[in-house]
Chain A
Amino acid sequence: MTADDLVIVLVAGLTATACGLLGPFLVLRRMALLSDAVSHAVLPGIVAVWLIGETRAPVPVVAGAAAFAVLCVLGIEAIRATGLVATDAAIALVFPALFSLGVLGITRYASDIHLDLDSTIYGEIAFTPFDTVTVAGVELARSGVVLGVVAVLNVVFVVALWKELRATTFDPAFGRVTGMRPRLLSRLLLVAVAVTAVSAFEAVGAILVVTMLIVPAATAALVTRRMGAMVAVTLVVGWLGAILGHVTALTFDASIAGAMGLVCTACFVIALVGRRFVGAGARRRARELDDPPVGAGGHLVGE
């Protein structure tokens, strides 16, 4: 494994870390698909920054993308709040519209420049080692630095609000009664997802971000029911995807991001199939404790 390969795996691992800290909350709150919506909705932001500022520099691009990510989330919330359209239908209305705006912007005004759909949808994690910045005299991959910062921010966010996030995820009413402000926490979580997604798109492509936000967390949800363990399993699956995915991509000469996503999905499939065989007895016993079947518990029959 060369130094470039190491950089790619590290960048993917940092993406997995940043996404994996938020993913379990998204999955448990049934907001998994918002990441997919946001990933498409940021396109007009990127295009607008190019049209106005003629730049692809990361800071304005991330700002433009983040603006549309927030717009997307607020738009979905506004449509849902009318009570006339279900959440899933609201998502299905908002993000294709924003994505369409982005596509129109590209074809109308920006078709002659290098701002193609591939770079936002596929991303190109393979190029991350060549784009470097110098921090304190050391040359580092730029996207690695960005994602490292995002990952640290997410660690701080999740650790600082661990108790609140966990409580409001499972029982918003309890959270409200104990003064935890579930709506605010939900918004903060969405903002964190938007920031993470937007800063990761550029480096690794939208599909890997969506995959890393959903698939490892879904895998973990199959394996454990404890919040802390869920986050840990999510991170392990994400890093497995990063490392094995890179190896797979090299072997088959295929997209690195795609291969990483495939490895994560493979972990999910193993967990799904494994559930049928491992722990089925334990789950049945747990159910019976909650709800003893007639004839199985002593006191219902014998007494």
Chain B
Amino acid sequence: MDRLSALLGLPYTDTVVVAGALVLGISAGVLGSFAVLRGRSLVGDAIAHSTLPGVCVAFLVTGTKEVAGLLAGAAVAGLVAALLMIAVERSVLRADTAIGVVLSGFFSLGIVLLTHITATGDAQQAGLEAFLFGQAAGLLERDVAVMGAIGLAGLVGVAVLRRALAATLFDRAHAAALGLSTRLVEAAVTAFLVAAVVIGVRLVGAILMVAMLAVPTVVARQLADRFGRVLILAGAVGAVVGVTGALLATRAQLPTGPVIVLVGVVVALLAVLLAPDRGVLARRARRARRAREIALGRALGDPAAASAGARRRLVRAGFLTEDGTLTPAGAAAQEDRAERVALAMAWLHYGPQIRLRDAREPDLRDVRRSLEPDALTELKHLAGLS
């Protein structure tokens, strides 16, 4: 840690916070992705709030603010809450109601315990509620070590179970048919989530933890389609967001948790907008390009009847001369388009009569490229095009 401190040129305490943010980012990113991909992002919110009564009970039992004891209390309470949510979901209620009820109940219990502890006037209790809002400033090297150990255990668990996890996540019936115990896998996913929350509550607090779980997966999902890649990317995004936020916060002397979360949400929004394939802007551009292609093709079909704007685009594409006659390239393109249109119409007409080796429908924009040669010949023959 001392060497890291020298490397980053940061004071020792700040280095500890940055290291903690790194650990949190990676573990929350990877372990949170299961909840987010299952549409249970806010389970983390309920687990995070549920740690409060656990912390209070741990304090009442041990009588000290020993970090390991409080974390253990938080973990047990989080696990109980998570299992209760699964149980409530089995009734007529939906996931979101289950989450809301468990969140409210545990948090109410936590407040009652907290005020009870305060009322008994134990001088030791001061700062217990900091657990809720996080307290990066008081982070010790040993805390980071504990966080790292929990996170590592979770990551190893994910690595070992990844096939079972993916199967259960995407197709429960399939997983059950394979002989997997989906309940056991679900419990494992829950345990991972609790581990991530317990790591994060210390640093960013319960309320902001929910964003730490959701942001990396939202970003990773924008960039990748495969489950394994999403997991790895989520870990990487979490790490980058955590470290960037922590560095910014120490530089600007602001509380760590909120800065990390704001950095993360900005990154997530940028990913939603700008992602190369799935981004809002990319999709809009793709749609506009397709619309232009269609309009250009239509104008090419009958240049004389096209609007002035469409004719200008045809000229720019090199299909039309200024005086309105087709260039050789234009004539070829026109012929090509006519054939594509004719084949598409022919497919709509005679397609059902043609026996295909598989059941894939051809792409009507260009049947020639997506139909097998035999079938194409047959289609042309049927339509009298050959």
Q: Which residues of A contact B (CB under 8 A)?
A: 27, 30-33, 35-36, 40, 79, 82, 84-86, 88-89, 91-97, 99-101, 103-104, 107-108, 117-118, 121-122, 207, 210-211, 214-215, 218, 221-222, 249, 252-255, 257-262, 264-265, 268, 272, 275
Q: Are B214 and A92 in contact (CB under 8 A)?
A: yes
List A contacts of B257 (CB < 8 A).
Answer: 100, 103
Q: Tell me whether A32 and B41 are in contact in the complex, defined as CB-CB below 8 angstroms, given that A96-B211, A96-B261, A107-B254 are known contacts.
A: no
Q: Are B100 and A218 in contact (CB under 8 A)?
A: yes
In the complex, which of the residues A92, A108, A221 contacts B210, with contact meaning CB atoms closer than 8 Å?
A92
Q: Tell me whether A262 and B108 are in contact in the complex, defined as CB-CB below 8 angstroms, given that A84-B278, A214-B97, A254-B116 are known contacts.
A: yes
Q: Tell me whether A93 and B218 are in contact in the complex, defined as CB-CB below 8 angstroms, given that A88-B41, A100-B262, A253-B119 are known contacts.
A: yes
- With both beta carbons as reference points, the residue of chain A lying nearest to B261 in the complex is identified as A100
Label chain A's interface by main secondary structure. helix
B26 at interface (Cβ–Cβ under 8 A)? no
Besides A93-B269, A103-B255, A104-B262, 14 other CB < 8 A contacts? A32-B97, A96-B207, A99-B207, A100-B265, A108-B254, A214-B100, A214-B101, A215-B101, A218-B93, A218-B97, A221-B92, A254-B112, A255-B115, A260-B108
List A contacts of B45 (CB < 8 A).
Answer: 33, 36, 92
Q: Tell me whether A252 and B112 are in contact in the complex, defined as CB-CB below 8 angstroms, given that A104-B255, A108-B254 are known contacts.
A: yes
B65 at interface (Cβ–Cβ under 8 A)? no
Q: Are A97 and B99 in contact (CB under 8 A)?
A: no
B299 at interface (Cβ–Cβ under 8 A)? no
In the complex, which of the residues B97, B111, B258, B265 contacts A255, with contact meaning CB atoms closer than 8 Å?
B111
B39 at interface (Cβ–Cβ under 8 A)? yes
A40 to B92, CA, bound (A): 28
Interface residues of B in 44-98 (CB under 8 A from A): 44-45, 88, 91-94, 96-97
List B contacts of A88 (CB < 8 A).
Answer: 36, 39-42, 96
In the complex, which of the residues B101, B222, B265 contacts A96, with contact meaning CB atoms closer than 8 Å?
B265
Q: Are B109 and A258 in contact (CB under 8 A)?
A: yes
In the complex, which of the residues A93, A100, A259 contacts B108, with contact meaning CB atoms closer than 8 Å?
A259
Q: Are B262 and A97 in contact (CB under 8 A)?
A: yes
List A contacts of B218 (CB < 8 A).
Answer: 85, 89, 93
